[in-house]
Amino acid sequence: MVTPAAEALADLASIFNDLQTVLRCCERLVRELAGRPDDVVVEGVWTTALISYARCFTGGARGMGLTEDDVRSIELPGEVLEWHKVLRQLRKHYADPATNPRERYEVGAATSADGRVGGIAITGVPQPPLDEVTVRQTGALAYRLSALVDRRISEHQERVLAAANALSPADLGRLELIEVSAGPA
The model's pLDDT over 125-154, given as tens digits with 9 standing for 90+, comes to 988 899 999 999 999 999 999 999 999 999
Domain ranges of the chain: 4-98+130-174
CA distances from 72 to 26, 66, 138 (A): 21, 11, 15
The model's pLDDT over 50-94, given as tens digits with 9 standing for 90+, comes to 999 999 998 766 678 999 999 999 989 989 999 999 999 999 999
Contact 52, 65 (CB under 8 A): no
Percentage with pLDDT > 90 across the chain:
57
pLDDT surpassing 70 at residue 36: yes
Q: Comparing 14-18, 127-131, 167-171, which segment has the lowest mean pLDDT?
A: 167-171
Q: What is the 8-class DSSP label of residue 65?
A: S
